[in-house]
Structures are given as structure tokens and as C-alpha cells.
Structure 1
């Protein structure tokens, strides 16, 4: 059994890591940090864990001079990079869920996050934590940066066509996300009285996940992000111009070639039924990302759709999947739940 620890375990991503890892047959969670809640049981802020663990939070300082097999980092953006050198001493494998090591160019990072990168020399050590496109590197990488939730959905939706040269010009992403994407400390904007019934465009341009999609697809990307009333879930609509002569059949073939053997990506583009295109509601709690498309033959455009649970495939589940790849385990280990319907 591998000994794993979670830094920043009191938030929503930290809670999902605890849930998934406590059900994983090959690991034992030996530490979960929260300076604010040190000494308290983890099933306080994460009541779904009641009866499954007696683990208590510990302060970050208690990790000093400790050796883990895997360290999951669910700490805030901008904070993680300043402590990364310290974290790398604590574990053989470090899996980071913050945004600090996702972007390869420190200048791009500074433009999207508003601060200079504190550890640019470490960026090249990290592999993008998206097994569908970086599986070979992940098998030997001990420094993994898991993409953001909307970025994961956008990359999985756009990259097959981008790599095959089937699209041209700017990719325009219309992203929608549930309230859990704001985290536990979402502030006044996340209060139920303000959020209920709202469709809030919180990032009309320049959302940081825009840079991740652009980096992964080698395309200019413009992204708008809207908060919707759901608690969980991400759905992205990626508007693209098809290259001259590209047919709907070629689009479908590109998706099937990319994801036909993938355990957690399904191509959903049907002409009938209630769920003809990817819908995050039926993915709640699962590690799936559904992708699909709709082609407009009249003007040679297409809408590429991606949907996932932002806390699972878009966060903790993606991190656990990367761990499974790294250690040569079946990728569905600990990630077998496949959603609910109706939900």
C-alpha cells in the first residue's frame, strides 16, 4: 500500500481526494492538512465521509521530515509555487491540482494570474496530468500538474480536431460551471441568495483556463465563463471554423480515433434522445468526460462540446487517474463510479 498525503484537504477538491482515495484499494491516506482545522476530524467539513475514517486534519508544519509515496496538492493558486521546493522533498511523486505549474511559459502565467512565477525553474519538471494525451510521459513522471476543470473539458473537446488540422482560426469557448468551482471560500458571489436562479458571466474574457486550452491545442483561444445554478458540473461549447472540405464524418472519425480506447472519455453525438450531446448532470461523481459535436454544413462551422464533473475528472478524479497511470495500475482503480440517472 502506498502512503499518500493531501495538502489543503479541507476544501471541495480536498474532500473529493479523501473520498476517492479512501475507496482506493492500493493506497492509505496517512495525512490530510489544514492549518485552520488542525486536530479536527476530516468528516466535519466532509460529512459524506462519516463512518469511513477517523482521520483528523494536521497542520502543514507536521509534514516536515516526513516521507510519503504520493503527495497531492490542493492548495490555492499562487501559494503552491512558493512552497513547491519544500513539497518536492516530502514525496516521491507530487501531483499538483493548483494552476501554478500548468502553463509552460512563466510570462503567460504572469499575464493570467497577475503575479510573477515564484519558481519558473521547476516548470519544465512537470508533466500535464491529462492521461488521454500524455499517458506515455505520465508513466515515468513524478511531477504532475493536473489541468483545470474547464480546461480539461475544452482540451478534450478541441485537441483531436486541432492536431488533425481539421479546424482553422480562433477557437471561441463558452464555458459554464457550477458553484463548487468557486471553492469553499467563494465569497459573497457564491452565497445562495445571490447565486440561485442566476446566470452570472463572471469572466467575459481572459479566464486563466483559456491559456491552458491554447497551449494544448496550439490555437488562439477566446473564452467566456458563466456561473450557473448547478452545484457541480462543467460544460464547454467550443465554436470552431472547419478547414475547407471537412465533413461531419471526418469530425466523428477524429474523435473516435482519439478516444475509442479511452476508459474515461465517451463520444456523445446522437440525433435522438434526451441526452444527444454531453450533459454534466449525468456525470456527477464520475470520472468521465463526455465529448461531442454538431456540424453546420451551411457555413462550415462546428460546435464541439465537453462535459464533466469539475471536482472529479476536472480535479480529484483526474489526479487519481494520473496516479494510477504513474504506478502502472488499471486506470479505473478507485474510479469505478459511473454517475446517476435520474439525478
Structure 2
């Protein structure tokens, strides 16, 4: 059975990556791609990579019959998705949201970092979309959808995905000091900031430059704290690098009193933790992940090492548009629709 899929906000970087994945997906048929600014313009005219691949043109949000879709992916700015999702759910359409609107479980926390939440009832029932760590939530959503219910998934953000995949096995194993701060320093490519150029992301400012931003104030902080149970203990510092795509997070975790694992033991622990996660690769001891090795895919690479200062240093590399956004959205949709989670997802990056 083929499912009809729509992408709202398809002209942005995450949206067009969704279009790329869905045009080749064996079970999802791309039926609609919306962009009010580019309505009526063929996708291939704006993004020539689609020449000969699809004749579909962008359409307006309001002028598109999204109710005819089985699933709609929302690749829209924060605060916009919570205004769109309720109407789609009401007409039986499953929603996969790539924004932050349905990630945080507590509406008060969402309001603190974003704005008052206008759909708190949906927030309470949304499944969190990080399959390797919240598989139970997605499995429950799949059961509800199979029973005829439209379901909602709030996909994890790019920084939280790389950071959490790197840190979760050590934390879950009880190897991390439960009272000490955890430090996450992460570097992202420019596409993570969205399509609209700013004084930070304009080529002339971003090229030949690396800088920290949102120090102590970045909105992904509460999401990472929620995933890893680190409320009040996370020191998260994002950095912007002159890359098109790619994200690397380095997480420094203080060892719990009495814990003294060897690096090789940690690697074995991590591999056991991700044994059923086909899109996560744990690197050998002494080998670190590379963003180039996951670019264009929904894969994640994770590395881990013991530091002699009594610390675990864990690293996670993803493509911010792949595992950090569009690829993760399709991975979650695959699970919700009862498909293999890797269905339609590119698993091998360009080697050079």
C-alpha cells in the first residue's frame, strides 16, 4: 500500500530534504509540497537537482487539500506548527512535526522558551520522535494509527539528537555523576539556521568563521535536559561552522563515584545499547565520528572514550538535515506506518 504524503514548508532546507527523500520512497507518494512564496513554481525550477525527477510544483498552504493525505510533514518555523496540526489531526491526517512545537512535554517549559502553547491537549499526546531513545512512544503511536487514529509526532531537534545519542548509553548505565554538570559543545552547519540569510548566516559572515552563539540561552537546552534527565545540569554551547550540512556534538560527562570503565568497555556498552538501532554506528575505540561520513543520510556515528580526569567524552555526528530533521521525520513516519524504519532512507554517505 502506498501512502499519500504532503510537505508543508517544502521550499526550506529541511522541507526540500523531505522532498528529496519522499520522491524516492517506495511506500510514501509525495502528493503535495507547499510554499506560499513559491506557489505555482515547479520544484525543479527552484532546485534544479529535481530536474527529470518530479514535475510537482509548489502550492499554497491554504489552497492544498492536505486532508487527502495520509501523512503531512510540517517543516515550518516554531510556533507555526501548533496552529496547523490540530486541523490536520481532526480530519484524520497523521502529522510529523519537525519544529519544536510538540517536543517539550510541559507547556510551561515551552512557554518559558518559546511562547504560550495553543494546543496543549495535542502536546500531551504527541510521541517524541527520537526512535533510538523513545521507541516505546513511537510504537504506541503506531498501534493507535493502525487502529484508525491520526497521530502526532514531534521530532527531536538536531542538537538534541546528536547530543543525546552520544550521552544516553553512559547515563542510562549509571556511569555519570548525578549531581555534576554535563557539558555539551556542538558545532552545526549553516543549513541548521534555516533558509533565510541573517547577519550570522550570510556567506560573507559565516565563511572562514566559527563562533559560539546562544551561550546559556539556546532553546534546545530544555529538550536535551528532558531527553537525558539533566534538568538544571546541562551546560550547552552551540557553534556555527562554515559547512553546508553536518553537526558534531562533544559531550563531557563526569564519572559517578567509584565508576572506572575502560574505553573498550564503554564501546562494548554503547554497541549493546544500540544493537537494535540500524541507523546508529558506534566507532571503534580510538576512532571518532566525522560529519562527512554521515552527510546526506539519516545515520548517526557515535564515539566514546574515557578521559584520565575522571570523565567520559562522548561524541555524536549527524547530518543536521538528515538525522537532525527530514531523515528523522521519515524514520518516525516509517515506524508509525508499520514500515521498516530504514525504508527509503539513504544509508551510505558519499565516501569523499
Kept after mapping to 1: 8 A contact 2:6/2:66: no
SS at structure 2 position matched to 1:251: helix
Whole-Å Cα distance in 1 between the matches of residues 84 and 28 of structure 2? 25
2:260 maps to: 246
Matched, 1:164 2:181: no
Match of 2:212 in 1: 201
Q: For the residues of structure 1 that align with 2:314 and 2:219, how far apart are their CA atoms?
A: 20
Q: Please give the alpha-carbon distance, in whole angstroms, between the structure 2 residues aligned to 1:2 and 1:83.
A: 20
Select between 199-208 and 95-104 the one with higher mean Cα deviation: 199-208
Confirm whether residue 223 of structure 1 aligns to residue 224 of structure 2.
no
Structure 1 counterpart of 2:278 = 263
Structure 2 Cα separation of the partners of residues 117 and 66 of structure 1: 24
**1:69, distance to aligned residue in structure 2 (A):** 0.6
1:16 to 1:117, Cα distance in 2 relative to 1, 3 A: same
Where does structure 2 lack aligned partners over 5 or more consecutive residues?
142-150
Q: 2:45 aligned with 1:34, yes or no?
A: no
CA RMSD in angstroms comes to 1.5
TM-score, structure 2 as length reference? 0.92
In structure 2, do the counterparts of structure 1 residues 337 and 49 end up closer, same or farther at CA, with 3 Å as the change threshold? Answer: farther
Q: 2:217 is paired with a residue of what secondary structure?
A: coil
Secondary structure (helix, strand or coil) at the match of 1:43 reads: helix
* 1:235 paired residue number: 248
State whether residues 75 and 98 of structure 1, in contact with CA within 8 Å, keep that contact through their aligned partners in structure 2. Answer: yes
Deviations 1:91-112 (A, max 9, x none): 4311000011101111211222
Report the CA distance between 1:82 and its aligned residue.
Answer: 2.3
1:88 shift after superposition: 1.8
243-252 or 227-236, which deviates more: 243-252
Q: Could you tell which deviates more after superposition, 92-101 or 77-86?
A: 77-86
Match of 2:97 in 1: 96
Counterparts of 2:70 and 2:309, CA distance in 1? 53
Q: Distance in 2 between matches of 1:44 and 1:221?
A: 44
Determine the structure 1 residue equivalent to 2:320: 310
Structure 1 residue 293 displacement after superposition: 1.2
Change (3 A) 1:165 1:23: same
Gaps of 5+ in 1: none
Instruction: Look up the match of 2:159.
Output: 150
Instruction: Tell me which stretches of 4 or more aligned residues in structure 1 moved more than 6 Å.
Output: none
Given that 1:317 and 1:335 are in contact with CA atoms closer than 8 Å, whether structure 2 keeps it comes out as yes
In the alignment, is the contact (CA less than 8 A) between 1:67 and 1:90 conserved in 2?
A: no
For 1:102-181, list aligned pairs within 5 A: 102-113=103-114, 115-141=115-141, 142-168=151-177, 169-181=180-192
CA distance, structure 2, for counterparts of residue 279 and residue 31 of structure 1:
34
